Chains A and B, each alone.
Chain A
Amino acid sequence: MNVRGQLNQEQIAWRAAQDIEDGQYVNLGIGFPEKVAAYTVKGREPIFHTENGVLGFGRAPAKGEEDWDLINAGKKAITLKPGAAFFDHATSFAMIRGGHLDVAILGALQVASNGDLANWRVGSKGVPAVGGAMDLVNGAKRVAVLTDHVARDGAPKLVERCTFPLTGVGCVTRIYTSLAVIDVDIPAARFVLREKLPHLSMDDLQFVTGAKLHVEGEVGNLEVPELS
């Protein structure tokens, strides 16, 4: 699919960052979701958590300055901000499972209109690896997903039922895509469209979405700065 003006990953990350409030404790999934940290809204200070046992980390160090005892869940070197803390793995996942983490932002293979998420493996082949994703989706107060609106082969990633193995059931409440911002009404099992690219018609957006998009009130314009 090639929609004019569709958002790149940086822009999707920027949009997600607008919804992170000052003082929130936030876990960003490995890869794409990590980009959200760079677009923290000025004047807000979220505290980033990483599963291996750090609260309050900052940017990556300069090349050659890495300390390999100081890494994030993606095994990348990090630096600390003043006020950071270290803790063991049981404590780290108590923060997650115990409902202390405000926001978890993850990638997705598929998200269903009932809030189910599939993001850890495509099928039964290969080496399975899950990490902390299943804990995060069941523990964080708010679970959001960043994703291209459709898969590389054009298949919808927003669907009625996930066909890939599930990471969690009824857990995702907001989806930021390359075309739209969509909330998941889990009890009613429906997608609610909140924002879309201004020039994109409802019909065209619905065409690339695998489940019905409901509208409640006004649909906002998804407007994002140029970023690359």
Chain B
Amino acid sequence: MNKHYASAAEAVADICDGATVMIGGFGGSGAPIELIHALIDAGPKHLTVVNNNAGNGHVGLAAMIEQGMVDKLICSFPKSKDPTAFSERYLAGRIELELAPQGTLAERIRAGGAGIPAFYTPTAYGTELGEGKPVAEFDGRPYLQERWLKADYALIKAELGDPYGNLTYRLAARNFSPLMAMAAGQTIAQVGRLVDAGGIEPEAVVTPGIFVNRLVEIADPAQEEVLNQAEARYP
């Protein structure tokens, strides 16, 4: 078994036009900047992207949107300190937005990875985000039906990875990544350090390797917030 790829470029090379791509991270925390930038270099178009946000500044997801690679974004909060990459395109009608409450977004991704096609949640009942969704009552309370979300690829960032794809995450950077790893056909993880088998204690594994297909080692990965403070742009 060898899930190790030599470079981010090789790991994302087959992501083609029209693919659905989940991207881990909450704001900059856990954003796989190097994988995203490699995808920008590869340049597939008409992508549907699933992320909690819509990018910040002119790096990472914001840069992907600026390059015109994204036709549709599924997210909960498309605002940030500098959301212009998304907001200008959205207000001009050049990018589609599917807005989902944050917990519903997370659970839809989890459901996609767990083989649960739909579930019921109280969230958004009676609001414009619930319009048109089937309603059912359980124990006297109304709930909305929500559907699973799956993707062709997931790009995620982890701290440690071993050759089997077992992963750990740093601090609060795990957020959506363990869920997205489950919900994608091909999960591509950039890891800060690739360790030998046994280098991660089995009790410490957060994402088991069965959910991970490709690993790239990126030591000292970039932080979106730090890049933005330096007013960086990509490419």
Q: List residues of chain A with CB within 8 A of the CB of B80.
A: 75
Any A CB within 8 A of the CB of B179: yes
Q: With A75-B27, A130-B129, A135-B104 as known contacts, state yes or no: A89 contacts B226, CB within 8 Å.
A: no
Assess the B122–A127 pair: CB atoms within 8 A. Answer: no
Q: With A69-B172, A165-B128 as known contacts, state yes or no: A97 contacts B121, CB within 8 Å.
A: yes
Assess the A89–B99 pair: CB atoms within 8 A. Answer: no
Q: List residues of chain A with CB within 8 A of the CB of B81.
A: 75
- B91 to chain A minimum Cβ distance, whole angstroms, is 7
Q: Which of A51, A69, A86, A132 has the most CB of B within 10 A?
A: A69
Assess the B176–A88 pair: CB atoms within 8 A. Answer: yes
Per-residue CB proximity of B166-207 to A under 8 Å, as 1/0?
Answer: 000111111111110000000000000000000000000010
- In the bound assembly, the distance between CA atoms of A53 and B173 in angstroms comes to 9
Binds B, one of A13-21, A166-174, A192-200: A166-174
Q: List residues of chain B with CB within 8 A of the CB of A92.
A: 103, 106
Instruction: Decide if the interface of chain A is mainly helix, strand, loop or mixed.
Output: loop
Assess the B76–A69 pair: CB atoms within 8 A. Answer: no
CB nearest neighbor in B for A54: B172
Assess the A168–B87 pair: CB atoms within 8 A. Answer: no
Assess the B110–A138 pair: CB atoms within 8 A. Answer: no
Contact of A69 among B103, B171, B179 (CB under 8 A): B171
CB nearest neighbor in A for B100: A130
Q: List residues of chain B with CB within 8 A of the CB of A96.
A: 103
Q: List residues of chain A with CB within 8 A of the CB of B52.
A: 89
A-B contact count (CB 8 A): 143
Number of interface residues of A (CB under 8 A): 38
- In the bound assembly, the distance between CA atoms of A167 and B102 in angstroms comes to 13
Contact of A131 among B77, B110, B224 (CB under 8 A): B77
Any B CB within 8 A of the CB of A70: yes
**22 A–B contacts from the bound complex (CB under 8 Å):** A53-B172, A53-B175, A67-B171, A69-B171, A70-B171, A86-B169, A86-B172, A89-B26, A89-B176, A93-B103, A96-B103, A127-B78, A128-B97, A130-B77, A132-B76, A134-B124, A135-B102, A135-B123, A138-B121, A138-B123, A139-B122, A168-B125
- In the bound assembly, the distance between CA atoms of A126 and B86 in angstroms comes to 12
- In the bound assembly, the distance between CA atoms of A75 and B80 in angstroms comes to 9
Taking Cβ atoms with an 8 Å cutoff, the residues of B that contact A are 26-30, 52, 76-81, 83, 86-87, 90-91, 97, 99-104, 106-107, 109-110, 121-129, 169-179, 206, 223-226
Find residues 140-196 in chain A having any chain B CB closer than 8 Å to their own CB.
165-169
Any B CB within 8 A of the CB of A52: yes
Any B CB within 8 A of the CB of A71: yes
Q: With A67-B171, A90-B106 as known contacts, state yes or no: A129 contacts B177, CB within 8 Å.
A: no
Q: With A70-B171, A86-B174, A93-B103 as known contacts, state yes or no: A134 contacts B129, CB within 8 Å.
A: yes
- In the bound assembly, the distance between CA atoms of A131 and B125 in angstroms comes to 15
CB nearest neighbor in B for A50: B172
> Would you list the 4 A-B pairs with minimal beta carbon distance, nearest first?
A93-B103, A135-B103, A169-B126, A89-B106
Q: List residues of chain B with CB within 8 A of the CB of A67.
A: 171
- In the bound assembly, the distance between CA atoms of A206 and B83 in angstroms comes to 41
Assess the A127–B174 pair: CB atoms within 8 A. Answer: no
CB nearest neighbor in B for A170: B126
Q: List residues of chain B with CB within 8 A of the CB of A133.
A: 101
Q: List residues of chain A with CB within 8 A of the CB of B179.
A: 88-90
CB nearest neighbor in A for B179: A90
Contact of A168 among B29, B100, B127, B174 (CB under 8 A): B127
Q: List residues of chain A with CB within 8 A of the CB of B171.
A: 67, 69-70, 86
Assess the A88–B174 pair: CB atoms within 8 A. Answer: yes
- In the bound assembly, the distance between CA atoms of A92 and B179 in angstroms comes to 12
